[in-house]
Amino acid sequence: MALARCKECGSPEGLKHKYPYLHSGMTNYRILCGAPTCIASASVWLTDEEEQQYSHGQRDFKISNHTKHVTVH
């Protein structure tokens, strides 16, 4: 599941997954940071598996935030 973080909060630290792939400014709508106390605009971070899916053409991903999924262009 992708995560969203703003520039100030930085790359996400997942408990089960690492999120090394940043996709910034490439969504259809504004995404808010998923950090507990932050409401800034954010970028999407993908796991290794999600990045592989992205490289094979998948663009819709579930995101752990206040939305159900995000489309990455």
Residue 23 neighbours by CB distance under 10 Å: 18
pLDDT confidence of 51, banded at 50, 70, 90?
A: very high
- Structural domain containing residue 17: 1-73
Q: For the whole model, what pTM was predicted? A: 0.78
The Cα–Cα gap between 50 and 45 comes to: 9
- Provide the number of structural domains found in the chain: 1
Q: State how beta strands 69-71 and 21-23 pair.
A: unpaired
Asked if residue 65 has pLDDT above 60, the reply is no
Q: What is the pLDDT of residues 3-35, one digit of tens each?
A: 888 889 988 887 788 999 998 755 556 788 888
